[in-house]
Structure 1
Amino acid sequence: MRRSADIDALQHVLCAALGSRVPVCSLADLAGDTGAFVSLAPAALERPTLVGGGTPYNPTSPAPTPHALDALVRRAERLDVPQILVPNVRRSDDTRALRAAGFVPVAADTECVARLPGDVDEVLRNRVGADQLRDLRHRHHAASQEATWERVRLSELDGSPWARDAFVELHQRQAERFGGRRNPYNAAALEALVGGALADRTEMLVRRRKDTVVQVALLTVSHNGRGLYHLAQTTDLDDPAAGDLHVATPYQLYLDARRSGLDWVHLGRGDVHHKRRLGADLFVPLDHWLRAPDLAPAEEEEEGGLSHFAAPPVTGVPVPGPVRYRHRPRFDMVDLSSNTNPFLGAESHYPNLDTADLARTYLATVSKLPGHGDLAALGPDHVLFSSGAVDGAMLLLAALTSPGERACVTPPTFELYAHWAHLLRLPVVEVPLRGADLSELDTERILEADARVTILCDPSNPVGTRLDQTQVHDLIARSRGLVVIDEAYVEFSEKPSYAGLVEQHENLVVLRTLSKAWGLASARCGIVLARPGVIDSLRRVQLPFVFSDAAQHAVRDRLTNSQRALASIPLIRAERDRLATALDGHPAVDRVFPSEANFLMVRLHKHERVMEQLRGAGILVADTGHLVPDTCRISVGDRRANTALLRALSSAV
């Protein structure tokens, strides 16, 4: 919860649970949170502690202001309480005042939220995959056959005394099972909640099997009216269907939330992997902040520095305002900061800027591909989503070079590299590829150019060959400048990616795209993989909000439900090989270049005549004759399209 009045209400509930006028107890008494404090000295666990937040209830506590912290410290002094706890503060909050006041962070659980931008089943299929969705629906159906689903407003709880009694009893049994010395969800706490400021927004959720209550929870509507918080939940673990209930309840809450026009459900704190499988998509790390006599002051956190490759103008400007706060969740705020139209629905909101979880999904999915295992070692700070890989190249040149510094390209290659370099007033040095298959680098000439950035395309476009791996590794190791490798077509190759090496080499940047193998050209999603200092440099020049919510939705769906895309890759390879065999020795074709991409470059005997004949047959291929004489680049289509191409070529002889 982000409103101080709501936290004050939860403090009142905690006082009632403790039987005290003030929220003072030992850390060991805070059932459910003791795991975070196990590394502390026994004295710290048993020492009286003033609690300055809503723990042990699920919502987070906003980081206190300096004025609020001063009042909290003075209160502890008046009470002669030696220890102060500010629980469950989002790591993304501004915690400078806490550090300055001598508080020390203790890592807590992660806050997990399921956002619901549309139809529940479609959202979950996009987020957890079709198989997991089927499991959720199956468990929900099974639980619904066995147990009723009832929601009782707290203002009407007096009419349902059985629900009140079951809530207290189940929580007491849970506290005893897990060794809690106090039950913070006792009868007194419930009475305080019923009579407090949150009562009008809170309901008790009850599941009953016949006359036996097997699950109870408290749900509170957020102060901005857009979502639901879990204040507390417990299940009868002796019930045979307890496992299904844990899965079925969130699914039912999603359905109810959407029917009520709500946008999110707060799933409380817990294991990220488990909550992700239940549909959560926003994960916010939390810290407890503790001030105690025997704790050393917290060291100042060092902000990750920019890469030394950043251009001078970039080092002197901050990340653009909205992007600077991308890790600060706004789902439970009343957001009046963006000057948008409040009456026209979700489309009037700016796109989500926090793409950290989507980056994790990308890395986890792609790391399962052959030759990509090293990507599992990277994290969201190594990833930037761009508007296609070519936009990533433009950002690199804009952020990491200055006018007059050289850019090196290796023709024949993708022409937009040099195009952007010229626009940015960078002299372009061309060092052509060598060898019969145009797959060899002239490493010494590239190094002699002493370029600020060298851009390689591997697999090559327009040729389709992979560059010599030994030469690429040698260039990365010896170059003083950046080496950028565009791997737009690497999924079609059986050789490994270079992406997993970015953590080992500060001067290595890898560009990827979802336009090719992943079939999302319309979503315009490129990926830059690099050291965090490079990624931070790019954020300073990237336009905010270029990655639309629709594109993010499409990307997550394709990555989460990747079977169809991955199954298409061997089909394309097989059709590429069939087409290459048919073209090899064809009367109109002089040579078919080897390819590890989803296209073939061919040299034609009568280039102009064949190109004219293909256009006349309604077939469009890329004319690459200006890059490699007498050639064209043919994308691998489906069998029908490829057969049409072969027929048109035969008529051109």
Structure 2
Amino acid sequence: MFDINNILRENIKNLKPYSSARDEFQGEASVYLDANENAFGSPLDTAYNRYPDPLQFQVKKRLSEIKGVPPRNIFLGNGSDEAIDILFRSFCNPVADNVILVPPTYGMYEVSANINDVQIKKVNLTDDYQLNMEGIAEAIDAHTKMIFICSPNNPTGNSINRDDIETLLTNFKGLVVVDEAYINFSRQKSFIQELTEYANLVVLQTLSKAWGLAGLRVGMAFASEEIIEVMNKVKPPYNINEASQQLALQALQNTTQVNAWIKEVLAERDKLVLELRNFEFVLDIYPSDANFILVKTTDAKGIYNYLVQHGIIVRDRSKVELCEGSLRFTIGTPKENVILINTLKNFK
């Protein structure tokens, strides 16, 4: 049985969070003289002289309508990276504890672990980029606090077998963090709907991909109320600025446009796969549930440098374990994809 107190750091259990002026008064008033703000305004047309809502209620309310979960189960971070870092700082004791990563995967899990001085246990994915369940079971010990799973996975693009993730959720006594940054492009359903089933589940999502708001840095974590309460206690008081909250809320009103973009990305992905298969230097194109494809080539470095010379930047993943010889192509606009293919036709 999962018990949050068994994995929560002692100092976090006893932590008294910073109490901001906006935490102490959350209602509406006509005169605010409590937060040492500039009462005269700012040089900008929009009034950014006031501190933002520390718990981003309006944004969470709209996300609740879209995702079908209560606002109390939602955490907003300065990108998903902040949510990842807060999980480490909340649940992993430096030096003493460890987490399990399943490479190839998103690189920030390892960076955040290293920043927080938390041991990493790596259990590589299988040759078909699925979980090595036996290896994970052997790696777990009494000090294993979290397992990070990116699905759809970056950089491989495939979704991780759902039954395997559920097996971990059922049997592991720590947190299972499922990073769904690319879920909008996937045929798989989100694990958000399983929050009531698994108390140790944390689902990460973002507004940076399908929603096209990478520049605003708004990431999301969905979890039980007690996990969200811990994350809110540890986060900086005003971690999402007012401009990002306003613009995110504005964007979240337009699901129709986002859904149209998703359909176009998926259509362009299929077209790009068909075009790339015609090139002799393409050895394999891995199945993708994301807005990118991983392509194994005969000369990844040569192709990468050639494209750079022509003003086209892709991601060289050839030095990543299990991705040798591979390049990652993000799905661009129809025009950008045509430029890519036409340029590759002249590669020798």
Say whether 1:385 aligns with 2:76: yes
* Match in the other structure for 2:16: 318
CA contact (8 A) 2:22 2:54 kept: no
Output the amino acid matched with 1:421.
Answer: A
**Superposition TM-score, scaled by structure 1 size:** 0.50
CA contact (8 A) 1:463 1:600 kept: yes
CA contact (8 A) 2:21 2:34 kept: no
Q: Distance in 1 between matches of 2:15 and 2:21?
A: 13
Say whether 1:361 aligns with 2:56: no
Output the amino acid matched with 1:353.
Answer: P
Q: Distance in 1 between matches of 2:341 and 2:272?
A: 8
- Which secondary structure does the structure 2 equivalent of 1:352 belong to? coil
- Which secondary structure does the structure 2 equivalent of 1:321 belong to? coil
CA 1:614–1:323: 2 relative to 1, 3 Å:
farther
Say whether 1:603 aligns with 2:293: no
* Match in the other structure for 1:445: 135
* Match in the other structure for 1:499: 192
Q: Which has the larger radius of gyration?
A: 1
* Match in the other structure for 2:36: 339
Say whether 1:457 aligns with 2:150: yes
CA contact (8 A) 2:177 2:202 kept: yes
* Match in the other structure for 1:578: 271
**Superposition TM-score, scaled by structure 2 size:** 0.92
CA contact (8 A) 2:303 2:347 kept: yes
CA 1:354–1:398: 2 relative to 1, 3 Å:
closer
Say whether 1:350 aligns with 2:51: yes
* Match in the other structure for 2:111: 419
* Match in the other structure for 2:260: 567
Output the amino acid matched with 1:442.
Answer: N
* Residue-by-residue CA offset, 1:406-430 (whole Å, 9 max, x unaligned): 1111100011100110111111011
* Pairing 1:89-238 to 2, within 5 Å after superposition: none
Q: Distance in 2 between matches of 1:525 and 1:464?
A: 22
- Which secondary structure does the structure 2 equivalent of 1:445 belong to? helix
Q: Distance in 2 between matches of 1:476 and 1:444?
A: 15
* Residue-by-residue CA offset, 1:358-389 (whole Å, 9 max, x unaligned): 212112123xxxxxxxxx2x211100110111
Q: Distance in 1 between matches of 2:22 and 2:165?
A: 35
Output the amino acid matched with 2:64.
Answer: L
Shift of 1:353: 2.2
Output the amino acid matched with 1:592.
Answer: I
Superposition CA RMSD, Å: 1.7
Shift of 1:564: 0.8
Say whether 1:430 aligns with 2:127: no
Q: Which has the higher contact order (CA 8 A, sep 6+)?
A: 2
CA contact (8 A) 1:323 1:544 kept: no
Output the amino acid matched with 1:604.
Answer: T
Determine which of 638, 645, 650 is the counterpart of 2:333: 638
Q: Distance in 1 between matches of 2:37 and 2:98?
A: 43
* Match in the other structure for 2:86: 395
* Match in the other structure for 2:100: 408
Shift of 1:640: 1.0
Output the amino acid matched with 1:639.
Answer: P
* Match in the other structure for 2:220: 527
CA contact (8 A) 2:317 2:327 kept: yes
* Residue-by-residue CA offset, 1:46-82 (whole Å, 9 max, x unaligned): xxxxxxxxxxxxxxxxxxxxxxxxxxxxxxxxxxxxx
* Aligned length in residues: 336
- Which secondary structure does the structure 1 equivalent of 2:308 belong to? helix
* Match in the other structure for 1:300: none
- Which secondary structure does the structure 1 equivalent of 2:302 belong to? helix
* Residue-by-residue CA offset, 1:576-623 (whole Å, 9 max, x unaligned): 010011112412211111100000010111122111111111100011
CA contact (8 A) 2:21 2:35 kept: no
CA contact (8 A) 1:433 1:441 kept: yes
Instruction: Provide structure 2 residue ranges, at least 5 long, that are not aligned to the other structure.
Output: none
CA 1:386–1:492: 2 relative to 1, 3 Å:
same
Output the amino acid matched with 2:260.
Answer: A
Shift of 1:307: 5.4
Identity of paired residues, percent? 27
Instruction: Provide structure 1 residue ranges, at least 5 long, that are not aligned to the other structure.
Output: 1-304, 367-375
- Deviation beyond 4 Å, 4+ runs, structure 1: 305-308
* Residue-by-residue CA offset, 1:531-561 (whole Å, 9 max, x unaligned): 1111111112211112111111111111112
Shift of 1:435: 3.2
Shift of 1:490: 0.3
Shift of 1:458: 0.3
* Residue-by-residue CA offset, 1:315-361 (whole Å, 9 max, x unaligned): 111222128827x4242163222112111242111112242342121
Shift of 1:448: 2.3
CA 1:405–1:476: 2 relative to 1, 3 Å:
same
CA 1:306–1:357: 2 relative to 1, 3 Å:
farther
CA contact (8 A) 1:488 1:513 kept: yes
Shift of 1:496: 0.6
Q: Distance in 1 between matches of 2:27 and 2:161?
A: 48
* Residue-by-residue CA offset, 1:461-489 (whole Å, 9 max, x unaligned): 00100001111111111111110010000
CA contact (8 A) 2:281 2:297 kept: yes
Output the amino acid matched with 1:380.
Answer: P
CA 1:472–1:599: 2 relative to 1, 3 Å:
same
CA contact (8 A) 1:307 1:537 kept: no
Q: Distance in 2 between matches of 1:354 and 1:424?
A: 25
